């Protein structure tokens, strides 16, 4: 692992800009567009079916989504995905996961029983496809949405899995760029590395955790991603790398050890 720093204190002008960046206006837009994307994805062509994972690809812009079962309830799965120290124990792709700034946000469109937080996160991923794609890093706004009260005992109606936000946990991300601009230099707050990574860009994507109708101790994860990894990488190699990352995420997450509290 490159680093296991969970929270870096950002100060001065950079902190002020981050407060604006993580405002309700930006985070609400991300949540709204992500909800629409996940719902619409059921009509995208199926790319592959393997190991209990259904992968779909929207051909118009190469947006991907994978769906599959996890052997955890939604709250546990969200912690495995969003807690930096925990994530680095099971994710073989992730080398660095840092939270640079973190705020509670109010999203008026959410049901009263839901809560949301927003963060600026820095991640670095390992080389992919046998080293043919070198290490990349990302600077993202991440939004976590979850029920503010315990919904694990809720009677699940499978028809609501994609329509009732009160039954879902979500991790949504989008890189700093044209839509989410940040003028402040946060480089001093990032980890120093001997080998710099190529700064890539995540378009709007995320993880949606939906209740399973089979068991309250399992859930369904919809993992949606579209990235511009920069550099001169052929499209077929990018597709191979994304397919491999889905396999790794689901396979390793399913084997993750849960800390009993």
**CA terminus-to-terminus distance, the chain:** 25
Summarised one tens digit per residue, pLDDT across range 134-155 is 889 999 999 999 876 554 444 4
Q: Residue 249's pLDDT band (boundaries 50, 70, 90)?
A: very high
Instruction: Reply yes or no on whether the pLDDT at 68 is more than 50.
Output: yes
Domains in the chain, ordered, with CATH? 12-149+163-185+197-254 (3.30.530.20)
Query: What pLDDT score was predicted for residue 134?
Result: 86
Alpha carbon separation from 133 to 84, 126, 173, 238, 254 (Å, rounded):
24, 9, 22, 8, 25
Share of the chain above pLDDT 90, in %: 43
Q: Is the pLDDT of residue 1 over 50?
A: no
């Amino acid at each position: 692992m490159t680093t296991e720093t969970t929270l870096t204190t950002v100060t001065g002008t950079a902190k002020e800009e981050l407060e604006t960046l993580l405002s309700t206006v930006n985070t609400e837009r991300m949540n709204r567009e992500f909800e629409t994307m996940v719902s619409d994805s059921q009509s995208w062509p199926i790319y592959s079916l393997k190991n209990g994972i259904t992968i779909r690809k929207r051909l118009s812009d190469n947006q991907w989504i994978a769906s599959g079962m996890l052997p955890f309830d939604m709250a546990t799965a969200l912690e495995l995905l969003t807690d930096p120290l925990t994530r680095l124990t099971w994710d073989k792709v992730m080398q660095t996961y840092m939270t640079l700034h973190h705020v509670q946000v109010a999203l008026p469109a959410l049901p009263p029983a839901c809560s949301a937080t927003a963060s600026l996160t820095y991640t670095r991923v390992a080389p992919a496809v046998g080293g043919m794609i070198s290490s990349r890093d990302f600077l993202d706004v991440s939004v976590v949405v979850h029920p503010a009260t315990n919904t694990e005992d809720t009677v699940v109606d499978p028809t609501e899995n994609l329509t009732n936000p009160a039954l879902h946990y979500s991790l949504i991300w989008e890189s700093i760029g044209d839509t989410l601009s940040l003028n402040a230099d946060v480089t001093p707050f990032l980890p120093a590395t001997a080998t710099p990574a190529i700064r890539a860009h995540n378009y709007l994507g995320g993880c949606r955790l939906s209740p399973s109708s089979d068991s309250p101790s399992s859930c369904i994860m919809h993992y949606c991603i579209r990235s511009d990894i920069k550099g001169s990488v052929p499209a077929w190699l990018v597709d191979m790398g994304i397919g491999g990352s889905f396999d790794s995420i689901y396979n390793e997450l399913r084997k993750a050890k849960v800390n009993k509290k």
